[in-house]
Amino acid sequence: VARQLLTTLYRCGLQAEALQHYESIRKKLAEDLGVDPGPELQALYQLILHNDPAAAAPAHSTPHQRAAQRTREGTRPVPAELPHDAAGF
């Protein structure tokens, strides 16, 4: 949950708030349990701290762009409709 909140804050343009939230989590863990945040949370903190594009939101693509990407990758899109033999549905 902490990772999701940090990511959301960062992606909403609230880098300082994300860093402050990480610091409050780090302090709470240290005081209550005597441990540091896990490696995933530490790595995310470093990405946010350095304003790394890897923590940014993925580029938004249209359904047409996703279909073209699947075609380039050699996969076929799965139809999103019911099969014709749905008798008694």
At 55, list the tokens: 């923590």
Return the pLDDT at 86.
Answer: 59
At 69, list the tokens: 């990407």
Q: Residues 33, 39, 41, 44: what is their CA dihedral angle, to the nearest 10 degrees?
A: 160
- At position 11, the amino acid (one-letter code) is R
Return the pLDDT at 40.
Answer: 93
Digit-by-digit pLDDT tens for the chain (89 residues) are: 899 999 999 999 999 999 999 999 999 999 999 999 999 999 999 999 999 888 887 766 566 666 666 666 666 656 666 566 656 66
Return the pLDDT at 53.
Answer: 85
For the beta carbon of residue 82, count every other beta carbon within 10 angstroms: 8
**Nearest CA to 44 among 89, 73, 11, 81?**
11
2-73 maps to CATH 2.160.20.10: no
